[in-house]
Every structure is written in C-alpha cells, then in structure tokens.
Amino acid sequence: MEVAEAPSLEVALFPAGERRYAIPLDRMRAVIPLDTATPLPLAGAHVVGLVRFQGEILTVFSLCSLLGAQGCGQDPTVLLVVSTEVGGLVALDSVQIPRTGSLPLPAVERARAQGAGPAVAVVDADRMPVHLLDLGRLLAGRTEGVAAAAEARR
C-alpha cells in the first residue's frame, strides 16, 4: 500500500539576517551576480540600484532593509530575480544562491490566513520556522522615487 504525500509548496530557501526566508519557486526567474547592478545613491535605503536583465531594467532592492531584518552583517553576493504578483520583475539581494525546498501546503495556507505582513512563519518538515515572503506586501509602496533617482543619474 502506497502512502500519498501531503501537498506542498515548492520554494527557494535563503537566509536574510538571522532568519530563513522562502519565495515560491514559481516566482523565481534567475540568480545573477550582485556586481551587475548599478548603484542608485539618491534612492531610498531599500533600493540598492538597477540591473539590466534580458533587456529590461529592474530595480534592485535590499531584502534586509525591506524586512528590517536583524543580524544582516554579511554582504550580499547575488541577486534573486523574481516576478511580482502583478507580473513585473524585480531583483532582491541575497547572501547566497537559494536552495530548493518544500513547505507543507496546509501549514502555508494556515499561516497566510493568520498573517498580514510581508512574511508569514511556516514550520517546515524539520520543525524549523521558514518565513514565506509575500512579494506584493513586501514591495507595496516601495517603488516611488526609483524612476526619479535613475533619471537623476543620467
């Protein structure tokens, strides 16, 4: 007799500060080197700069700054190119290339129903907390001034 596996959400897992975070794997588009980004010194603290990806100019966000994460002492080395809920692409800095994993779907649904912030805590199969990012909530209202800062650099 075969036991059916519980449904799960496939995710990209990575650290930010002292916590583990996840982005749904279907939102990940690429991982590229951080040094491909052009700094935007006139932008807000949450904006690292701009990067060209497949002919598009993307805003690069500081994930630790967006999250207010504690213990972000390690310098990022890569950019995670992700699609947002509205279909646009952005890049988030990260200290490492994410690894794939899965989260139990019932736990994800419970956490999403109870949480209202940019990240909800889900307990993984190893009984460790993983903070699943809601990109729409994380980036809400964060893109103002990016275009103006880019234009000022020209």
CB atoms within 10 A of CB 128: 9
CA–CA distances in Å: residue 26 to residues 8, 14, 39: 13, 15, 28
Residue 1 lies in a domain: no
The total number of structural domains that make up the chain = 1
Any domain includes 102:
yes
37: domain CATH number is 2.40.50.180
pLDDT tens digit string along 36-63? 999 998 888 899 999 999 999 999 999 9
Entry field: residues in the chain: 154
Q: Average pLDDT in the 51-76 region? A: 89
Residue 74 in this model has a pLDDT that exceeds 80: yes
Q: In this predicted structure, what is the pLDDT of residue 119?
A: 94
Residue 136: domain span = 8-153
- Let me know if residue 2 belongs to a domain: no
In a domain, 3, yes or no: no
By the 8 A CB rule, do 132 and 115 touch?
no
Mean pLDDT, the chain, rounded, equals: 87
For position 12, what pLDDT does the model report? 97
